[in-house]
Amino acid sequence: MGAMPSPRHDALVKMFEHRPELAVEILRDLMGVELPDTPLVRLENTTFNTRRSDDIHADMVLVLGPSQDPAHAIIVEIQQDKSKAPRQLARYAAVLWLMLGCDVTVLVICPDRATAAYYAQPIESGLTGYRLQALVLGPDSIPALTDPQEAAGHLGLAAMSIMVHGRDRKVVEAFAAALTDTDDDHALKYTEYAYSMAAPEVRRLMEEIMTSTDWPVYTPFAREHFGRGREQGKAEGKAEGKAEGEARAVLLVLAARGLDVPEDVRARITACTDLAQLETWTTRAATAQALEELFDEAGGQQG
């Protein structure tokens, strides 16, 4: 069984899903790839078949052009280590080419420099004459955006700039300033993406800078989701209602973090009536890297 995807991996995938045009802009504007000039960009099913018996699953697939006559396909893969065999990427491209009948580009996002170099090498597929050259966006290719206007115009890149260059205070300041020029709902998404992708010390810097500005959501999970759940619980006016609101807050935070909650864990959370325990779980949910940390006895008693 494979390892559970990290919050950083999930945030990157969600950011591209939220705005698929980001992949086109990275390839065309940042990496100089010639792509069909079309406003039609759509997400495709990420699971496709080798026409034998096994399905293969990419992080994201998007298609340029009309569905009946696709002009180009892009496979986006998020790789934080060298665990995936490069030949698998060649296989993805070949199968998608067979299915859609159009050219395919593989874009690999690698926050780690060594991983980026690994996937940047030409990939021998094992089929004579077929060698795939994946296009890799590594930390050296992600610009440090310190201009608020530039960050506001490229919020996806600005969030990735936080991931790679967030220790530079000017990068975080530019990101925070850019968010004030965007409507709250839109900005909240990118705040969550950046926060999930950032290292712990960068998260602390984000909170410090965002609390000193007019931007109201400086810790996206604690402020938006935790607060919403608490207020809903209080409005119900009864202990049972408060517990239900707190339980919902826990689940909202976990959902915002991209953590998959099995039914048995969901049942345990919703069945808990201990408000103090639920508040503890909500606080832990904002930073937990895995569900096990939510119930860690070292951090407090279990419910």
pLDDT tens column, 15-73: 888 888 999 999 999 999 999 888 888 887 776 555 554 556 888 999 999 988 999 99
Q: Which helix H or strand E contains 95, and what residues bound it? A: helix 86-100
Can you give the pLDDT at residue 226? 38
Widest CA span in the chain: 70
Name the token pair of 136. Answer: 């890799």
Place of tokens 């999970």: 221
Q: pTM, whole model, 2 decimals?
A: 0.64
Distance CA 77, CA 89 (A): 9
Smallest Cα–Cα separation from 79: which of 156, 9, 166? 9
Looking at residue 67, the DSSP 8-state letter turns out to be T
Dump pLDDT digits (tens) for 267-302.
888 888 888 888 888 888 888 888 888 887 544 444
Q: What is the 3-state secondary structure (H, E, C) of 192-243?
A: HHHHHHCCHHHHHHHHHHHHCCCCCCCCHHHHHHHHHHHHHHHHHCCHHHHH
Average pLDDT across the chain, whole number: 81
Sign of the alpha-carbon dihedral angle for 34, 40, 41, 47:
negative
Q: What is the side-by-side order of every strand in the sheet holding 72-78?
A: 41-44, 60-64, 72-78, 103-109, 135-137
Place of tokens 């808990």: 272
Pairing between β-strand 135-137 and β-strand 123-124 as defined by DSSP bridges = unpaired
Can you give the pLDDT at residue 119? 95
Residues of the chain with CATH 3.40.1350: 7-137
User: Which CATH number among 3.40.1350, 3.30.1380, 1.10.3470, 1.20.1250 corresponds to the domain 7-137?
Assistant: 3.40.1350
User: Does the pLDDT value for residue 220 go beyond 50?
Assistant: no
Dump pLDDT digits (tens) for 231-256.
444 444 455 667 787 888 888 788 77
Dump pLDDT digits (tens) for 62-120.
999 998 899 999 999 999 999 999 999 998 999 889 888 999 999 999 999 999 999 99
CA angle 294, 298, 300 (to 5 degrees): 70
